[in-house]
Amino acid sequence: MANPITDLPLYERIPRKNKLKRATELVILFLLVSLLIYRLRLIHAHGFVWLLAFFCESWFTFIWILVMNAKWHLFDNITHPDRLKTRIHELPPVDLFVTTADPVLEPPIITVNTVLSLLALDYPANKLACYVSDDGASPIIFYSLVEAIKFAKLWIPFCKKYNIQTRAPFRYFSNKEFETSSDVSSKFQNDILHVKEEYAQLCRKIEAAEKHSDQFEFSKEFSAFSKLDRRNHQSIVKVIWEKKDDLADGVPHLVYVAREKRPQYPHHYKAGAMNALARVSGVMTNSRFMLNVDCDMFANNAQVVLHAMCLLLGSENEREIAYVQCPQHFYGDIKDDDPFGASSLKVLQEYITRGVGGIQGPFYGGSGCFHRRDVIYGLSPNGAMIEGKKYLGNEMQVIGMQEKEGLKEKFGCSTELVNSASQTLLGSHEKLNCPNDISRSLTIATHVADCIYESDTLWGKKIGWLYGSTAEDVLTGLQIHASGWRSAYLTPRRSAFLGCAAFTGPAVMTQQKRWATGLLEILFSKNSPIIATIKGNLKFRQCLSYLYINIWALRSIPELSYVVLPAYCFLTNTYIFPKVSENAFWIPISLVVIYNLISLSEYFHCGFSVKVWWNNQRMSRITATTAWLFGVLSVLLKLLRLSDTVFEITSKDQGGDVTHTNPGQFTFDDSPIFIPGTAIVLMHITALVMWLLGIHSQGQSALGAGLGEVICSSLVLLNFLSFLKGCFGKGSYGIPLSTISKSVALVGFFIYFCRRAS
């Protein structure tokens, strides 16, 4: 007889009702097609300008089809961690990966808070091991972690004793959550004051170490950092804390990893760091599951691992879900006057990611993701192929010497790593807890972190995080989906992780350029979603969803062209939009109104205001015509073999809310990335003034620019208002004179071209 308790599912997939939204999206598609038909019927009489407009509008129609495909089926995954005890007799161990690369752009206190939040998770401590990858090989990071583990022995018991929900101390104390606690006992008050003072002392120690890093004493455990060159050094692997018992309470393992770097060997940025962590953890703890987070993405939900296990263990024979992706939310309330559009990611995740979750699963987002180690090692849903033989990961099997030699060719020469990989691929995990003697594996762990170890192996090619793109996360997720796996989207009521949003104009532009560059690299690689659909197991609709993000950079070309067209019309006295006297005039008007209404409704659904929506719409136009344009140029130079793409790190907040003198204003620097936006503003102002003064070609005055072009130009200026203000701003709020000068030169060239064309 079936047990009604044990038969309850660990998670449920619930579809959302969105018939009205689908109908509205179809109306927009109908209007886009109508505009194309109108354009096509008259294109022969208007020449190149209308041909260019037709190309741009065809591209926008294609993008809209991709958006509709991604949003068509929205799903919610409801997890039930309370049912794990009745379904799972023994929780599996989990390795936790934290990556940092620069102690200046990514301050140590941020990494410390992320590590503390992970060590304090509501999960048996003997089943957790935290590995910190420091690609900057900074003694300050190592020192901070050594001091943090001392505080962790106080912080973790405190959190679990009083059921503290916010496990990152800087957020707990900055939110003054303790002041509103229902526990008003004298014992709690004494404990909280003691913990708060200890945390303040920890911060002071780290701050002092940062200020006086030149006076750092490189002795004993710090001797490995003496005279170290961050770009040319040996591997450093140190066990900062080792949990010696098998008890569920206490502090989990904490391991510091600075992989070897040599100028003659490519280090592959974050993907290389993740592969080093996979190998080091493979010979130390070899947990079945792995969680990776960026150094600024702390665990905000103490039960996040339990929620993830519901999805990973709840599928039939565990042969369905390869990884579980959590949304990237940001700490601190997003202000209405936020000029950088940080809330757009939340809206994107709410609709696009949930929609893709109804196809083959969400994209891998690079942080806040739970992986199955066997999938990262190349296991397909049908099992592992080793020397021509198939092994199913859920069967206890033994492989022979010939097969082990085959694994050495894939995983490297380390016998210990090959043995742990074979256990992983065959599902023969003997230990249910993390080993309590990981220090004995230090020598081999240091060896597998060497840069030469990956030579002549499949690391970065078929195994681990894939190389070849600065968007290594999406590339790796794509490869997993192409193997036939699904992924799942985890959105517990309390946000799983919270991170730091880019808070300056240059940081936002750098981040957007990096994303656009990496995604476009994937499109032109052998791992393209199109090839994965033809030769692999990537579903067609999933391929379309990948294309939606892969072509972000390419969108800059039609968007920039369409933005320039109204100014061209003013200078040449031509037109591209229907006249008011034509019925077709209402097609673009209806498009703009309906699209913005549906977009506004999505922001309302996510709890944002009209001002937040407008800032995001404005920022979308800015990034598309600036950062994404430079992404295209980066990939073009790479394809022409003139230069290689570079992984650019964005600066992180020091662990609190960012405050600026003028928080609602855009910030600039002397980067050339701001030239297109500045040129667009100057171009439209110049063209509009010249048109109003009648300084334009008279060849087509009867059919010259009209209301449509004026409306479009006004919308462009509104979207780029930050750049107009920047022309008169000072300091970081002003556009440098060199950028303005280059923009003026571009505008002058454009006017000259328009004069010649007319």
Active-site amino acid positions = 135, 473
Rounded CA separation 511/185 (Å): 46
Token pair belonging to 493 = 């009521």
Give the residue from 12, 683, 624 showing the smallest Cα distance to 311: 12
Q: What is the CA radius of gyration of the chain?
A: 28
At residue 655, φ and ψ (nearest 5 deg) are: 110, 20
- CA 504, chain centre distance (Å): 17
CA dihedral 195, 112, 301, 9 (to 10 degrees): -130
Q: 214 is written with which tokens? A: 């030149």
SS3 call for 363: coil
Alpha helices in 524-584 (DSSP H): 529-535, 540-550, 556-572
- CA–chain centroid gap for 192, Å, is 35
Given 3-state DSSP classes, what are the helix, strand and coil percentages for the chain, each rounded to the nearest 5?
A: 55, 10, 35
Q: How far is CA 103 from the centre of its chain?
A: 20
Structure tokens at 66: 């991709």
Q: b vs e for 386-406, b when ≥16 Cβ sit within 10 Å of the residue's Cβ?
A: beeeebbbeeeeebeeebbeb
Record the tokens describing residue 509, joined without a space. 């532009």
Tell me whether strands 486-489 and 321-325 are parallel, antiparallel or unpaired: parallel
Burial class of residue 620 (count of CB atoms within 10 Å of its CB; 0-12, 13-18, 19+): middle
106 known member of a binding site: yes
Q: How far apart are CA 320 and CA 84, in angstroms?
A: 18
The beta-strand segments (E) located in 588-696 are: none
* Strands across the sheet containing 236-241: 236-241, 253-258, 128-134, 94-100, 289-294, 369-372, 321-325, 486-489
Is residue 683 within 8 A of residue 559, CB to CB? The reply is no
183 is in an annotated binding site: no
Task: State the Cα angle at 181 between 177 and 185, rounded to 5°.
Answer: 135
Tokens of 316: 């039939």
Alpha-helical segments (H) within 486-528: 505-523
- Taking Cα atoms as reference points, which of 527, 513, 475, 543 lies closest to residue 635? 513
What secondary structure letter does DSSP report for 386? Answer: E
Q: Which 8-state DSSP code applies to residue 296?
A: T
- Return all residues near 173 (Cβ < 8 A) that are at least 6 apart: 196, 199
Asked whether residue 127 is marked as a ligand-binding residue, the answer is no
Helix, strand counts (H, E) of the chain = 27, 15
The H or E element that residue 499 is part of is: strand 497-499
Whether residue 210 is annotated as binding a ligand: the answer is: no
- Residues belonging to the binding site for Mn(2+) are 270, 294
| Residues annotated within a binding site | 106, 135, 270, 294
What residues form the annotated binding site for UDP-alpha-D-glucose? 106, 135
